[in-house]
Amino acid sequence: MASERQFAANRRNAQKSTGPRSASGKKRSGQNALRHGLARPISSADFIKQLEDLARQISGGSDDLPTLALARIAADAELELSRVRQVRNAIIQRCMIFGGLESPSYFQSDIEEIQWQIAALEGSRPSKPLLPVMVDPSATLPEGELERTAEAVRRILSDLARIGRYESRAAGRRERAIRTMIKMTSMNRKKKAS
């Protein structure tokens, strides 16, 4: 059991890790749920039918309730893995087409944009300042298909790493469920043999 001193140290450390502090960090993390939708569960009739069909295949048509429950867990994880792979491929394709996930901006930073807006609102000049030329990120991608794919993946590597978290969780759930099913099956065979 932790001592009072350890509890106090944990509380102090927790105060230090409060998430993003800058405005841009907060803005970015505020959009995390809207990035790919993988944290959102699926509960459509079509998904449930797919889940049940796959669970029957995994269980080998068994009517044993514990085996079916584990097969449903494995099937749900397998469908989640499929969904993660589809999202990953869509992100890579989008980056290959548009040059990145973020829409291009006229400004290098938020401060530069604010300065431009202030200059535009002051009206001290005869006309509003012209917007800087926007660089098209897709124009900076290489021409060759392999090089274009590699550059697209390099640009979105951090986003792909975030998606990898969902993939590893689903793969772990699937593996645990299948291992448990195998153990149960072997124990049932031993019981029947004796």
Structure token digits, residue 189: 């065979």
Give DSSP secondary structure letters for 12-42. Answer: HHHHH--S--SHHHHHHHHTHHHHH-TTSPP
Question: pLDDT per residue over 11-56, tens digit each?
Answer: 888 887 777 778 877 777 766 655 566 777 777 888 899 999 999 9
Mean pLDDT, consecutive 10-residue stretches, the chain (194 aa), reads: 84 79 76 65 85 92 89 94 88 73 65 75 59 64 79 80 89 95 87 82
Distance CA 54, CA 71 (A): 8
Contact 106, 134 (CB under 8 A): yes
What's this model's pTM, rounded to 2 decimal places? 0.60
Question: pLDDT per residue over 131-141, tens digit each?
Answer: 666 656 666 77
Q: What is the pLDDT of residue 126?
A: 47
> Distance between the two ends of the chain, CA-based, in angstroms?
45
Structure token digits, residue 168: 């590893």
Give the angle 126-131-134 at the CA atoms, nearest 5°. Answer: 165
Q: What is the pLDDT of residue 53?
A: 94
Contact 104, 137 (CB under 8 A): yes
- Helices 157-193/145-155 angle, 10° precision: 90
What are the CB-based long-range contacts (under 8 Å, 24+) for 183-192? 184/66, 184/67, 184/70, 185/67, 188/64
Side-chain half-sphere exposure of 142, counting CA atoms within 13 A? 12
Contact 88, 165 (CB under 8 A): no
Distance CA 129, CA 116 (A): 7
Q: What is the pLDDT of residue 168?
A: 93
Distance CA 159, CA 149 (A): 15
> Among residues 57, 84, 55, which one has the least CA distance to residue 72?
55
Q: What is the pLDDT of residue 133?
A: 64
Residue 1, burial from CB neighbour count under 10 angstroms (0-12, 13-18, 19+): exposed
